Structure 1
Amino acid sequence: MSDTRTHLHAVLTDLADLVGTVHDDEWRAPTPCTEFDVSALVDHVTGWSTTFAAGYADPEGRAPSGPTPVEGDRDAAIRAAADRLDAALAGGAAARPLFLGEAAMPGKMALSMILWEYQVHGWDLATALGRPWDPDEEGLKASLEFAPMLLTEDYQGEGKIFAPRVPVPDSAPPMDRLVAMSGRAPR
């Protein structure tokens, strides 16, 4: 868990840095996550990072059931969520379930899901902006092991929540394999 915690804090910090680079003329640019332009994607990652942090920080693991609206400086909000989440995890919060509304998920499993989501959404944003995105390879490998548990036929394919997998060679870099598994063309 401490490795996942470390990887997640780094990914969120890098994501906050990336959000801080968005220029005024880039907010409406499309992203590889086709349901979001840059502005909507930043709202999504900011709102959910704040929600996840609140849930892990809550003594009973209860988070709001949806993304928390964030006004103002979104890169600062992501940094604050990263720090709050990291402090809660340091205190053992991943040992209890995380509740989003009444739905619960084991804390460690939710943490792996959050890491995967932010690695991929970071790539979405970096790709849309033409900026680099280079999460730690060990964290990517952990997500490559975890993501197939979520990306099943029930949830992935035409007309489903996740786009179909994109074929890539087994020798492709871990980030390329992860985004391809998540339904995006890496290049």
Structure 2
Amino acid sequence: MSDPTVGQLADVVERTGRLIAGITPEQWSDPTPCSEWDVRALVAHVVGGNALFAAALSGQTVTPGDYADSADRLLAAFRAPGALEKVVTVPFGEVPAPIALHLRLADLMVHGWDLAQATGQRADYPDDVVEQALAFSRSALPLVRKQDGPFAPSEPVDLDASALDRLAAFLGRKVG
């Protein structure tokens, strides 16, 4: 499994931003595959996650803002000199920054999938980046998945499903 790059993160951030920009006014209260969140709450979670990871890398305060602002701060934090050599604290504990980058990529793509499902859009992430996130998730998630933790059990999915559908199913989404 190769290490993710900040360039991959920038691309995924931009593609997720397009999904958020495509939400119509009447869709903000619609349900999502994350049963506890409607579209508005899911976007707030994504923005909050960006802010949390940016703060972990930069040492600044977590200030969510809007998606564009949180995305800019996230990318600036990962692009800062020496950022990828740091050990940072994320919700799962202390991890090397490349692991934090893996986590952020997987989270953005899965929640992009959630938004696409909820709003009738198409999530368009590069298959190689999704496959990388799936390989990482398969190796790392068993270490953090708990019965009462933030991840639902994996769901079955067709072997010929798209990489993004397989990632979503592995992270507990019903696909199909």
Which of the five TM-score ranges fits, normalised by the shorter chain?
A: 0.7 to 0.9
TM-score under structure 2 normalisation? 0.86
2:122 alignment counterpart: 132
Evaluate the alpha carbon distance shift between residue 162 and residue 186 of structure 1 in structure 2; reply closer, same or farther with a 3 A threshold. same
Establish whether residue 110 from structure 1 lines up as the match of residue 100 from structure 2. Answer: yes
Runs of 5+ unmatched residues, structure 1: none
Task: Please give the alpha-carbon distance, in whole angstroms, between the structure 2 residues aligned to 1:160 and 1:75.
Answer: 26
**Does the 8 Å contact 1:4/1:139 carry over to 2?**
no
Evaluate the alpha carbon distance shift between residue 141 and residue 147 of structure 1 in structure 2; reply closer, same or farther with a 3 A threshold. same
Instruction: Note the 1:1-187 alignment, pairs <5 A.
Output: 3-56=4-57, 58=58, 62=59, 68-71=62-65, 74-88=66-80, 91-100=81-90, 103-152=93-142, 155=145, 159-187=148-176
Evaluate the alpha carbon distance shift between residue 23 and residue 183 of structure 1 in structure 2; reply closer, same or farther with a 3 A threshold. same
**Does the 8 Å contact 1:46/1:70 carry over to 2?**
yes
**What is the Cα deviation at residue 32 of structure 1?**
0.6
Instruction: Give the SS at the match of 1:104.
Output: strand
**What is the Cα deviation at residue 37 of structure 1?**
0.8
Instruction: Give the SS at the match of 2:155.
Output: coil
Runs of 5+ unmatched residues, structure 2: none
**Does the 8 Å contact 2:3/2:98 carry over to 1?**
no
Task: Please give the alpha-carbon distance, in whole angstroms, between the structure 2 residues aligned to 1:160 and 1:52.
Answer: 19
Structure 1: which 4+ aligned runs deviate by more than 4 Å? Answer: none
Task: Please give the alpha-carbon distance, in whole angstroms, between the structure 1 residues aligned to 2:101 and 2:171.
Answer: 17
Aligned length: 175
**Does the 8 Å contact 1:12/1:82 carry over to 2?**
no
Q: Give aligned-pair identity as a percent.
A: 31
1:68-107, Cα deviation, whole Å (9 max, x unpaired): 4534xx232244235424532xx23111111249x42111
**What is the Cα deviation at residue 153 of structure 1?**
7.7
TM-score under structure 1 normalisation? 0.81
Task: Please give the alpha-carbon distance, in whole angstroms, between the structure 1 residues aligned to 2:67 and 2:18.
Answer: 7
What CA RMSD, in Å, does the superposition of the two structures yield over aligned residues? 2.5
